Amino acid sequence: MGVPFFTTVREYAARKNEFDSAVGAVMERGDFILGKEVAEFEQEAASWLGVKYAVGLASGSDALVLAADILGFSAGAEVLTPTFTFFASASCVARLGGKPVFIDMDEETLAMDTAKAAERVTERTKGIIPVHLFQQTTPMQAVLDMAKKHGLSVLEDAAEAWGMENRVDGCWRRAGTMGDIGIFSFFPTKTIGAYGDAGLAVTDDEELHRKLKSYRVHGSLAKYQHDYIGYNSRLDTIQAAVLRVKLRSIEAAIAARARHAAHYNARLEGAPGIRIPKVAADNKPVFYVYNILIDDRDGLSAYLKEKGIGCTIYYPKPLHLQACFSCLGYKEGDFPVAESVSRRILALPIFPELSDDEVDEVCDRILAFSRKR
Ligand SMILES: Cc1ncc(COP(=O)(O)O)c(C=O)c1O
């Protein structure tokens, strides 16, 4: 049997009535722009995360740009960001005229290496973008201590991190709620995914909240009065309606992902040539992505695809080697851990509706491949 890398079709089939009636209600009212589900979702999301304010935006990428703009990650500012991440974690700074300063990663956990980040702080450093990748957060105690010491603003890229937690000053805090602004993506594959593009920015700061609300409507809180040169980046009401349905069952979705991850761990740990990233201390993981590392990654990927098993590579090329960032002057060899991980990493199918038999099928194929080597 084949196994899809990801699909929303099973979830929709199982909860069709809930989704149809939530979306239908918006169609019946016709308040597509900042309709009532947007404010309802913002309140529910803020309360679930344990943060004062949430602002619904058009995507996670937009949320990064708005937040970076508001925090002044623009002309002349240096901003520390991992090289091993999704493009938008750094493009948000570059497009505002700021300078992304790339940082290598920790091989064991795949998170940004915070000790290396500390070495790159200069008098021009304005901020840091810790990105919580795959299943766990960047060590936030180190990030927040560094930010305090050097007066940096912290923009948490929690696009992938709904529900992940990190212990800071002895207290568990949800990803996205520890920095000045945290952002989330609701791209359909995410732990909480919309049925299209959608995003969110969260903060505890009243002034930042006011600016986020203004920036998403062309810098305007009163109609046709523009305080800032903002953007058009509102969370769509239909997507907010979908997200409200999903948020009602998010704990079960997270638990199902954890069960699949434990199943993969039990079958794959210790298999010849395969390494599984570790969950660091002070982290409560959420398995948005389940990765393995293997030297013959391209061989395994081709083999799985031939057997009908979906898999994908996050990320095949670190950002310091992307053509659009060549002006920053980085070269191959500058970030050896990220370069090595990008050649060996492979993401396996993980989503709540996956069956135990499907996880077994993926593992059987991987083990057959690894034993042949
Ligand atoms: C780490 C990270 N940052 C930012 C984004 C951008 O989010 P979006 O696709 O909603 O624009 C994504 C997701 O795709 C991501 O994984």
Ligand 1 centroid to 185 CA: how many Å? 5
Mean pLDDT, residues 264-274 taken together: 95
Mean pLDDT, residues 3-20 taken together: 97
Ligand 1 centroid to 81 CA: how many Å? 14
**CA 298, 311, 254, 240 torsion-angle sign:** positive
Pocket-forming residues, ligand 1, beta carbon under 6 Å: 59-61, 85-86, 88-89, 131, 157, 159-160, 185, 187, 197, 199
pLDDT at residue 136, rounded to an integer = 95
pLDDT at residue 249, rounded to an integer = 97
**CA 22, 27, 28, 34 torsion-angle sign:** positive
Mean pLDDT, residues 2-17 taken together: 97
The pLDDT tens digits of the residues spanning 317-372 come to 999 999 999 999 999 999 999 999 999 999 999 999 999 999 999 999 999 999 88
Closest listed residue to residue 196, CA positions, set 133, 243, 250, 158: 243
Mean pLDDT, residues 308-318 taken together: 98
The pLDDT tens digits of the residues spanning 82-141 come to 999 999 999 999 999 999 999 999 999 999 999 999 999 999 999 999 999 999 999 999
**What domains can you pick out in the chain, each with its CATH number?**
9-103+110-248 (3.40.640.10), 250-372 (3.90.1150.10)
Cβ–Cβ < 8 Å for 135, 288? yes
Q: What is the pTM of this model?
A: 0.97
Nearest CA to ligand 1 atom 12: 159
The pLDDT tens digits of the residues spanning 168-227 come to 999 999 999 999 999 999 999 999 999 999 999 999 999 999 999 999 999 999 999 999
pLDDT at 263 over 90: yes
Grade residue 1 by pLDDT with cuts at 50, 70 and 90: confident
pLDDT at 147 over 90: yes
Residues marked active site are found at 190
pLDDT at 311 over 90: yes
Mean pLDDT over the full length of the chain: 97
pLDDT at residue 42, rounded to an integer = 98
Ligand 1 centroid to 1 CA: how many Å? 31
pLDDT at residue 371, rounded to an integer = 85
pLDDT at 373 over 90: no
Q: Sheet containing 171-174: give its strands across.
A: 171-174, 165-168, 283-284
pLDDT at 294 over 90: yes
Mean pLDDT, residues 270-292 taken together: 96
Ligand 1 centroid to 65 CA: how many Å? 11
Closest listed residue to residue 136, CA positions, set 253, 279, 315, 259: 279
